[in-house]
């Protein structure tokens, strides 16, 4: 086995026993990036010099006996988390030369335990997209089939983990942007409860929906990353002061008596690929074989989730992205006649079409005379969606459904069809609207032999139960061991 193929847990054991050094491990990952980046296009920035410096520091920590499971581990970072003295573009031309003067809280936490940052990963511009085709920098490809999308918006993160271009990665999830690419690339992805992981230093898309989370090669690695990044942060006003458990303690494989909720609305979902549904049903049977108990649940208002999300998210984006006007930082169009012309031309040339589309939608929804009819009404329905989940979790421990209605589609197939693209997030949006945790774990393959993810959702701050169920399933199937040939 090559060093870059290791999981975080495997690499930790080798580092702890001094069988390898972080410098050796990091160099192997950087060499792997050099070998396959032209096929995958996962990275916007590869920070070679910084990574080797951090690896040397990690080796010194290990020599001193000061080690955590992430010490010396090469990780990739989605390019919308601020990194001190390392460019952060958000996949947009309007920020392509922006170098933050500070670290996001999650980056600071990774540095404190001696993790290594090998680079910043590609994404849909400002996290707006489901395929990474909306990046203003490049199009990332799926390691299982480079003619297909890796998912989005954390497509670079999922593709890099799947292709062994890092041992783990951070992504962000506003409407499915961790879980959906994790499903399409056959890796594990977790969106924590809103408020569980600090958003300080995360460049905002929709502030009431965004959440940072890990993408990893297996469930154990996901738990290790959560142990580091979770926790209260007074710099983030939406962070919740709640104790963080040891997530690895939940990985016992005992699913006896765990109640798994199956939404009655699942079978009626339009556009659901039969092979995806088959993989989900097979996964449910595996869990029942491990002692879990199937319970029917109903989520009657989730049929409105897509409409609600595409009012709330663009409205918040319209507000958040108003700061990109060419005045203080980022791109400024040099060809302008006056101040208003500079604003207009800078934003027209700096933002891509999808970002412009969502800003326009959001501005309209927030405009005088339409606020109550659109944003106000959407917020009311959002409350109903959250109440549906609260009621469902009175009878079950987790809710299971697909992550996406299909496996990864071909690059270019629906990029010009925004509505179809929006509907690809139909199963993931509800968790963000309700603020609950959700994760994707590989559960099988489509008719075209592409990865399919099982979505596991839980009640607020109950990431432990998600990890418990995911780990039990993973150990029973070992699907995570199947890797793309790239």
Is residue 78 among the annotated active site residues? Answer: yes
Whether residue 354 contacts residue 416, with contact meaning beta carbons closer than 8 Å, is answered with no
- CA-nearest of 113, 110, 57 to 86 is 110
The first and second tokens of residue 480, run together, are 């995570």
Give ∠ CA 387-213-68 in degrees, rounded to 5. Answer: 130
Name the β-bridge partners of 188.
216
327: β partners: none
- The number of residues making up the chain comes to 486
Q: Is-contact 169 160, C-beta < 8 A?
A: yes
Rg (CA), the chain: 21
Task: Specify which residues 283 forms β-bridges with.
Answer: none
Catalytic residue among 153, 154, 172, 459: 153
DSSP letter at 5 equals G
DSSP state of 245: P
Sign of the alpha-carbon dihedral angle for 285, 288, 292, 295: positive
DSSP one-letter code for 376: I
Are 255 and 397 in contact, with CB atoms under 8 Å apart? Answer: no
Residues 6 or more apart from 234 whose CB is under 8 A from it?
none
Distance between CA atoms of 172 and 212, rounded to whole angstroms? Answer: 4
Residue appearing with tokens 């790239």: 486
Is 483 among the catalytic positions?
Answer: no
Read off the tokens for 392: 């469902």
Q: Which of 9, 22, 47, 78 is catalytic?
A: 78
Neighbours of 235 (CB within 10 A): 12
Q: Is 177 a catalytic residue?
A: yes
State how far the Cα of 412 lies from the Cα of 414, in Å rounded to an integer. 6
Between CA 275 and CA 286 the distance in angstroms is 17
Pairwise CA distance, residues 414 & 423, whole Å: 11
Instruction: Judge if the upstream peptide bond of residue 153 is cis by omega within 30 degrees of 0.
Output: yes
Q: Of residues 9, 21, 131, 177, which has the active-site annotation?
A: 177
438-445 β-sheet, strand order: 43-46, 116-121, 74-78, 168-172, 212-216, 188-191, 438-445, 451-458, 398-402, 259-263, 293-297
Angstrom distance (rounded) from CA 70 to CA 482: 24
Catalytic residue ranges: 78, 153, 177
């Amino acid at each position: 086995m090559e060093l870059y193929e290791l999981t975080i847990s495997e690499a930790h054991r080798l580092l702890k026993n001094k069988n390898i050094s972080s410098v050796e491990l990091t160099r192997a990952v950087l060499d792997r990036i050099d070998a396959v980046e032209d096929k995958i296009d996962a990275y916007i920035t590869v920070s070679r010099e910084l990574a080797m410096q951090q690896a040397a520091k990690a080796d010194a920590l290990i020599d001193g006996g000061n080690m955590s499971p992430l010490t010396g581990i090469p990780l990739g970072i989605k390019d919308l988390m601020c990194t001190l003295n390392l460019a952060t573009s958000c996949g947009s031309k309007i920020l392509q030369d922006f170098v933050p003067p500070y670290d996001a809280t999650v980056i600071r936490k990774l540095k404190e335990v001696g993790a290594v940052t090998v680079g910043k990963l590609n994404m849909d511009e400002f996290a707006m997209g489901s395929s990474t085709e909306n990046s203003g920098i490049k199009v990332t490809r799926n390691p299982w089939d480079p003619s297909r999308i890796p998912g989005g918006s954390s497509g670079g993160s999922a593709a890099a983990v799947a292709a062994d271009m890092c041992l783990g990665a951070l992504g962000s999830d506003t409407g499915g942007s961790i879980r959906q690419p994790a499903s399409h690339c056959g890796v594990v992805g977790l969106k924590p409860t809103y408020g569980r992981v600090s958003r300080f230093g995360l460049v905002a898309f929709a502030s009431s929906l965004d959440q940072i989370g890990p993408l990893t090669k297996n469930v154990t690695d996901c738990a290790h990353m959560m142990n580091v990044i979770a926790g209260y942060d007074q710099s983030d006003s939406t962070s919740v002061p709640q104790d963080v458990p040891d997530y690895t303690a939940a990985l016992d494989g005992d699913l006896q008596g765990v109640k798994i909720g199956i939404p009655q609305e699942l079978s009626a979902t339009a556009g659901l690929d039969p092979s995806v549904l088959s993989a989900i049903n097979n996964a449910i049977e595996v869990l029942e074989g491990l002692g879990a108990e199937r319970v029917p649940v109903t989520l009657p208002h989730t049929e409105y989730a897509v409409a609600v999300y595409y009012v709330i998210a663009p409205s918040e984006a319209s507000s958040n992205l108003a700061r990109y006007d060419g005045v203080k930082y980022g791109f400024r169009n040099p060809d302008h006649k006056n101040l208003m012309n500079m604003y207009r031309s800078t934003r027209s040339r700096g933002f891509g079409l999808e970002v412009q589309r969502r800003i326009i939608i959001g501005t309209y929804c927030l405009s005088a005379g339409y606020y109550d009819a659109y944003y106000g009404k959407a917020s009311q329905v959002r409350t109903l969606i959250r109440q549906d989940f609260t009621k469902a979790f009175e009878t079950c421990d987790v809710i299971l459904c697909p992550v996406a209605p299909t496996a990864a589609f071909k690059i270019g197939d629906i990029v010009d069809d925004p509505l179809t693209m929006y509907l690809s997030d139909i199963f993931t949006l509800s968790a963000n609207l309700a603020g609950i945790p959700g994760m994707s774990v590989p559960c099988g393959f489509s008719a075209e032999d592409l990865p399919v993810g099982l979505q596991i959702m839980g009640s607020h701050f109950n990431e432990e139960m998600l990890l418990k169920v995911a780990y039990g399933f993973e150990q029973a199937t070992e699907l995570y061991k199947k890797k793309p040939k790239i």
